[in-house]
Amino acid sequence: MDRDVELLARIIEHTPVGIVLLKPDRSILYVNLLATHLFNSDRESLLGVPIDQCIVDRQGETPLRELLPVVFQGTAGESKVGISRGEKEELTCTLTAFYIGGKQGHEDSVALVFRDITHELKITEQLEKKNVEMARMNTELIRSNMELTRVSEMKSNFLSIASHELKTPLTSIKGYSDIIIDGMKDRVDPGVYRMIESINRAAGRLHKVIDNILDVTRIEQKKLRLKGEKFAIEAVAGDCVEEMAQFAGKRNIAFNKFFDAGLPQFFGDRMRIYQVFTNLFTNAIKFSPDGSAIDVTITVEDNNRFHIAVKDRGIGIDRNEQKNIFSAFYEVADINKHSTDHTKFMGGGTGLGLSIAKGIVERHGGQISVESDGVKKDQFPGSTFHVLLPVHSEASWEALEKDEPAAAVTAEAPADLIPGRGNEEKQALLIIDSDRETVEITRMVLENVFDIIAAPSGELGLALAFQYKPSVVLLNTYLPGLDGFRICTILKSQTETRDTPVVFLSAETARDGIEKCFACGADDFVVKPFGNKELMDKVGRVLMKKKSEMAK
* Positions in the binding site for ligand ADP (CB under 6 A): 279, 283-284, 287, 312, 314-315, 317, 325, 330-332, 347, 349-355, 383
Least distance (Å) between residue 348 CB and ligand ADP = 7
In the bound state with ligand ADP, the residue whose beta carbon lies nearer, of 363 and 528, is 363
In the bound state with ligand ADP, the residue whose beta carbon lies nearer, of 295 and 483, is 295
Separation CA 483–CA 171 (nearest Å) = 20
Separation CA 490–CA 518 (nearest Å) = 14
Least distance (Å) between residue 285 CB and ligand ADP = 9
Indicate the pairing of strand 293-301 with strand 254-259. Answer: parallel
Least distance (Å) between residue 371 CB and ligand ADP = 11
In the bound state with ligand ADP, the residue whose beta carbon lies nearer, of 366 and 390, is 366
Least distance (Å) between residue 298 CB and ligand ADP = 18
In the bound state with ligand ADP, the residue whose beta carbon lies nearer, of 83 and 219, is 219
Q: Quick one: three-class SS letters along 119-171?
A: HHHHHHHHHHHHHHHHHHHHHHHHHHHHHHHHHHHHHHHHHHHHHHHHHHHHH
Residue type, 378: D
Helices 270-286/233-250 angle, 10° precision: 30
In the bound state with ligand ADP, the residue whose beta carbon lies nearer, of 287 and 397, is 287
Residue type, 542: V
Residue type, 168: T
Least distance (Å) between residue 256 CB and ligand ADP = 16
Separation CA 446–CA 505 (nearest Å) = 14
Separation CA 363–CA 225 (nearest Å) = 9
Q: How many CA atoms lie within 13 A of 301 on its CB side?
A: 12
Secondary structure (DSSP) of 32-71: -HHHHHHTTS-HHHHTTSBHHHH---TTS--TTTTHHHHH
Residue 273, SS3 per DSSP = helix
Least distance (Å) between residue 326 CB and ligand ADP = 7
Dihedral pair phi/psi, residue 447, rounded to 5°: -70, -20
- Residue 300: closest CA among 266, 274, 329, 249: 266
Least distance (Å) between residue 273 CB and ligand ADP = 16
In the bound state with ligand ADP, the residue whose beta carbon lies nearer, of 354 and 522, is 354
In the bound state with ligand ADP, the residue whose beta carbon lies nearer, of 212 and 476, is 212
Separation CA 517–CA 502 (nearest Å) = 10
Query: Helices marked H in 469-531 — which ranges?
Result: 484-493, 511-519
Task: Report how far apart the first and last C-alpha atoms of the chain are (Å, whole number).
Answer: 124
Least distance (Å) between residue 352 CB and ligand ADP = 6
Separation CA 189–CA 86 (nearest Å) = 104
- Residue 438: closest CA among 529, 376, 510: 529
Least distance (Å) between residue 321 CB and ligand ADP = 7
> Which residue minimizes CB distance to ligand ADP?
349
Least distance (Å) between residue 386 CB and ligand ADP = 12
Residues β-bridged to residue 388: 307, 367
The answer to whether residues 446 and 539 touch, using CB atoms and an 8 Å cutoff, is yes
In the bound state with ligand ADP, the residue whose beta carbon lies nearer, of 325 and 429, is 325
In the bound state with ligand ADP, the residue whose beta carbon lies nearer, of 100 and 209, is 209
- Residue 543: closest CA among 476, 449, 462, 475: 449
Least distance (Å) between residue 534 CB and ligand ADP = 27
In the bound state with ligand ADP, the residue whose beta carbon lies nearer, of 185 and 323, is 323
Least distance (Å) between residue 220 CB and ligand ADP = 14
- Residue 355: closest CA among 385, 332, 324: 324
Least distance (Å) between residue 359 CB and ligand ADP = 11
411 φ/ψ sector (left φ>0, alpha ψ -120 to 50, else beta) = beta
In the bound state with ligand ADP, the residue whose beta carbon lies nearer, of 268 and 353, is 353
Least distance (Å) between residue 164 CB and ligand ADP = 21
Which helix (H) or strand (E) covers residue 220, if one does? helix 190-220
In the bound state with ligand ADP, the residue whose beta carbon lies nearer, of 19 and 209, is 209
Separation CA 61–CA 353 (nearest Å) = 78
In the bound state with ligand ADP, the residue whose beta carbon lies nearer, of 203 and 280, is 280
In the bound state with ligand ADP, the residue whose beta carbon lies nearer, of 359 and 390, is 359
Residues β-bridged to residue 306: 300, 389
